[in-house]
Copies of this chain bind each other. A is one copy, B any other.
Amino acid sequence: MTASAKPGPKGTEGEEPDRRQQIVAAAAEIFFDKGYERACIDDLIARVGGSKRTIYNIFESKEGLFTAVVDSFLTDYAKRIDAVSAADEAGADLRTSILAFARASTSIVYAPPMLSLYRVLIGEGRRFPNLAKSFFERGASVVATVLTRILERHKAKGELVIEDCRLAAEQLMGLVRDYQYLGVLLGVCEQPPPEVLEHRIIALVDIFLDGVATHRRA
């Protein structure tokens, strides 16, 4: 964890698995460990070698570097959401799609890098508004859009009673990030094991689709 195999200055030990990717991974660890502001480029140099000049050539700025870190995770997570959307478009029924969304979404928000990103950006977001904005808009915001589309498709089939699909989507996202998630984010609760998460996923889908009341409102 501390003194990992630092590549020599010339760094030609076989096939480098994409130098850029390697830098981004190291930068992620530093940002997650020390936060955005306290992280410094020199720490990064100390880990991956090379020169500051190279870093700035590739990433433009410290913000650009952080954005690259965000991207490296978001692109992966986006695929999971897109898969849900594709299955829905292919004709999955309502409950199946919502369940798939809840699973994908849960796997994303509890992923350690995602927790770290939220910790950094919630803590320092007001100081670095464009970082927080870009993270939110390219992360949660597109997820909300995709989910809204899914809900609208089912509403068109007469399967939903709601007026505002966007609002329902945003609230379903809240169900995923519930009290327990908050505990994990605060570092108070351990990462829940998969079976616990699955149990909660089932429960939240039931609540979202059917509610908890015995008799529905008039």
Chain A: how many interface residues by the 8 Å CB criterion?
A: 62
A203 interface residue (CB < 8 Å to B): yes
Tell me how far the C-beta of A88 lies from the nearest C-beta in chain B, rounded to whole angstroms.
15
**Closest residue of chain B to A173, judged by CB?**
B179
How far, in whole Å, are A164 and B179 apart by their CA atoms in the complex? 15
Residue among A135, A137, A178, A210 with the highest chain B CB neighbour number at 10 A: A178
- Set B158, B180, B187: member contacting A132, Cβ < 8 A: B187
**DSSP majority for the A interface?**
helix
- Set B182, B185, B200: member contacting A167, Cβ < 8 A: B200
- Set B132, B200, B213: member contacting A94, Cβ < 8 A: B213
Would you call B123 and A186 a contact (CB within 8 A)?
A: no
Would you call A174 and B178 a contact (CB within 8 A)?
A: yes
- Set B170, B186, B203: member contacting A179, Cβ < 8 A: B170
Would you call B213 and A171 a contact (CB within 8 A)?
A: no
**Closest residue of chain B to A129, judged by CB?**
B187
Tell me how far the C-beta of A162 lies from the nearest C-beta in chain B, rounded to whole angstroms.
5
Q: Which 10 A-B pairs have the closest CB atoms?
A: A123-B123, A174-B178, A211-B211, A170-B179, A210-B211, A209-B213, A126-B187, A125-B187, A173-B179, A136-B188
> Chain A interface (Cβ within 8 Å of chain B)?
35, 94-95, 118-126, 129, 132-133, 135-137, 140, 144, 151, 158-162, 164, 167-171, 173-183, 185-188, 200, 203-204, 206-217
